[in-house]
Amino acid sequence: MTRKIAVVGAGYVGLVTGVALAQLGHYVTCIDVDTTKVDQLNRGELPIYEEGLRELLLANREAGRISFTAHPKRGLRSAEVIYIAVGTPPKEDGSADLRYVESAAYDIASYATQECVVVCKSTVPVGTNEQVLQWIEKEKKEDIKVHIASNPEFLRQGSAVYDTFHPDRIVIGSNSSYAWDVLTEINAPFEAPIVKTDLASAEMIKYAANAFLAMKISFVNEIANLSEKLGANIEDVVSGIGKDQRIGEAFLRPGIGYGGSCFPKDTKALSHLGSDFMERLRLIETTVEVNDMQPSRLIQKAIKRYGDLAGKRMAVLGLSFKPGTDDMREAPSLSIVNGLVDLNAEVVAYDPVAMERAATIFEEGVDFASSVEEALTGADGVFILTEWPVIKNIAPDVYAARMNQPIIFDGRNCYGIEEMKEAKLEYYSIGRPPQF
């Protein structure tokens, strides 16, 4: 059945969700307070980079199934299903800032005109959906029935479109059978197992999933740091433990730590929630602590190698928090680039898609190159921070040909140790013996 759907918040999650629902044949209006973003989207331009999104957006705009507005009234009027996909950034104390969710709830209360299902896709602390329903019930202008459901999002930036159409599972938490029926029907074409549960469990599933994945990364980074000291090779260690089916190799990639808009904030929010309820989550607290220290390890290797970095020309390859996205939120590159600038190194950075965004963040002390080769030319060292294909596939002889001193600090273990040895390059990576 084709439905009239509103999506509040047209960021990474809201936009991809809106476009996917339009692709399934529904009529979707995305509402965003950011008028620049709305204008861009109405011109068919994308404010974010995600593979495959542009084509889907243009096709569904053309078919008249998706539109964008900054006026909540226009989008919410007569919507049967309303998705909330606004940001839930961290407050200073680590807890989730729910002000955008609250504002979305009040808009729904003001402008919804018929019985509807309000579906929260934003990642929110346990209890928030109950609160959203109360906000709406308290302020609603029309005598309509409002059902609430939690439908947490698991897409990964960089493969958001693929993930939306191929989810491992879909979680629907609600106390309303009407909401369950509507959402089961909307989600049926995705052909994924549906976990039906209550609101609190659905909210907890999202935080627990992200915390577990973050914990795997901090775990492997701790083992990598020790392996390095003891002469073990973390890649072999991961291969050895990951073949155990109870463990698996996924998310055991050593590196400079996790970043992005989710893991850092969600681990902190969960930890904060634990403290609020006198249940300290020590594993999560330590996960955060390990992650906060991990980026500086690469800089420590450079300090050990050069002594003084002042005046050294350092190429930085990759700025986004991971490949496939231009998102710089909480990217490890932020602390590494700032660390190099603080040490008075001359930084020349390159990223295939994130440079425009990065230029607004690194205001001083960083030059941007238009290619990998340009960044490497004349450099005294290179920091590999994001494993984009264009970066991890650089042939080893390019470093020797372009750089003043071909010294590589690889934060993503893009190369095999043997390969670097053969190329006679000085190479420092994570959790493996240095090559020189």
Shortest Å distance, C-beta 254 to ligand NAD: 22
Told to judge if 262 belongs to the known catalytic residues of this protein, a careful annotator would answer yes
Instruction: Find the binder of ligand NAD among 12, 27, 263, 383 (CB under 6 A).
Output: 12
DSSP 104-155: HHHHHHHH--S-EEEEE-S---TTHHHHHHHHHHHH-SS---EEEEE-----
Q: Is 32 assigned to a binding site?
A: yes
Shortest Å distance, C-beta 185 to ligand NAD: 23
Within 13 Å of residue 367, how many CA atoms lie on the same side as its CB? 15
Q: Which spans in 231-376 are helix H?
A: 234-242, 263-276, 282-306, 332-342, 355-361, 372-376
Q: Which is nearer to ligand NAD, 67 or 435 (CB)?
A: 67
With contacts defined by CB under 6 A, name the span among 110-118, 120-128, 222-230, 407-415 that binds ligand NAD. Answer: 120-128
Evaluate whether 146 touches 112 at the Cβ level (below 8 Å): yes
Q: Which helix (H) or strand (E) holds 259?
A: none
Does residue 8 touch ligand NAD according to CB under 6 A?
yes
What is the residue type of 175?
N
Please identify the residue of the shown chain whose CB is closest to the bound ligand NAD.
11
- Cα→Cα distances 164→1, 158, 176, 260, 420, Å: 20, 12, 24, 18, 38
Does residue 402 touch ligand NAD according to CB under 6 A?
no
Residue among 116, 120, 262, 414 flagged as catalytic: 262
Task: Tell me 51's DSSP state.
Answer: T
Does residue 87 touch ligand NAD according to CB under 6 A?
yes
What is the number of other CB atoms lying within 10 angstroms of the CB of residue 89? 14
Does residue 252 touch ligand NAD according to CB under 6 A?
no
Instruction: Find the binder of ligand NAD among 6, 41, 53, 86 (CB under 6 A).
Output: 86
With contacts defined by CB under 6 A, name the span among 11-19, 111-119, 136-144, 420-428 that binds ligand NAD. Answer: 11-19
Residue written as tokens 């959402």? 183
Q: Which is nearer to ligand NAD, 148 or 155 (CB)?
A: 155
Count of residues engaged in binding ligand NAD, rule: CB under 6 A: 27
Q: Is 329 assigned to a binding site?
A: yes
Which among 382, 369, 365, 373 is positioned nearest to 305, based on CA atoms? Answer: 382
Instruction: Find the binder of ligand NAD among 29, 67, 123, 333 (CB under 6 A).
Output: 123
Q: Is 411 assigned to a binding site?
A: no
Q: Which helix (H) or strand (E) holds 398?
A: helix 396-402
Q: Which residues make up the interface to ligand NAD (CB under 6 A)?
A: 8-14, 31-34, 37, 85-88, 100, 103-104, 121-123, 153, 155, 157, 261-262
**Known binding-site positions for substrate:** 206, 251-255, 259, 322
Query: Hey, which residues are catalytic here?
Result: 262
